[in-house]
Amino acid sequence: KNEVEQSPQNLTAQEGEFITINCSYSVGISALHWLQQHPGGGIVSLFMLSSGKKKHGRLIATINIQEKHSSLHITASHPRDSAVYICAVATGNQFYFGTGTSLTVIP
């Protein structure tokens, strides 16, 4: 049983499209993280959320604690957004990761 489920696993979009990646979790959390991983392995933390909504540029992350669900939105997608997006949840003493969503944005 996976504590964190992401969907979709793979996503291809045309440049400029609005993209949504979903994350559901089954454990009590202290925070939820959205991570971005480019080919070559480097991971960048995009957001850390414990409630509500956050926005950085074209990226928006939301979380619904009651429904144990979070979404990552990318507005006006660009080829440089092509990467794997990973949802991670922090419990009191553990981190659990989703399997990632591989996003390809075509020019």
Partner 1 sequence: KAGVTQTPRYLIKTRGQQVTLSCSPISGHRSVSWYQQTPGQGLQFLFEYFSETQRNKGNFPGRFSGRQFSNSRSEMNVSTLELGDSALYLCASSSLNTRGSYNEQFFGPGTRLTVL
Residues that bind partner 1 (CB under 8 A): 30-31, 33, 35, 41-45, 48, 86, 88, 90, 93-100
Q: DSSP labels for 47-102?
A: EEESSEEEEETTEEEEEETTTTEEEEEESS--GGG-EEEEEEEE-SS-EEE---EE
Integer Cα distance of 63 and 90 in angstroms: 14
Minimal distance in Å, beta carbon 38 to partner 1?
11
Q: Which is nearer to partner 1, 77 or 101 (CB)?
A: 101
Q: Which is nearer to partner 1, 10 or 106 (CB)?
A: 10
Q: Contact, 10 vs 102, CB < 8 A?
A: yes
Q: How far is the CB of 65 from partner 1 (least distance, A)?
A: 15
CB of 28 to partner 1, least distance (A): 13
| Tokens encoding 42 | 């480097």
Based on CB atoms, which residue is closest to partner 1, 18 or 95? 95
By beta-carbon proximity to partner 1, the closer residue of 77 and 100 is 100
Rg (CA), the chain: 13
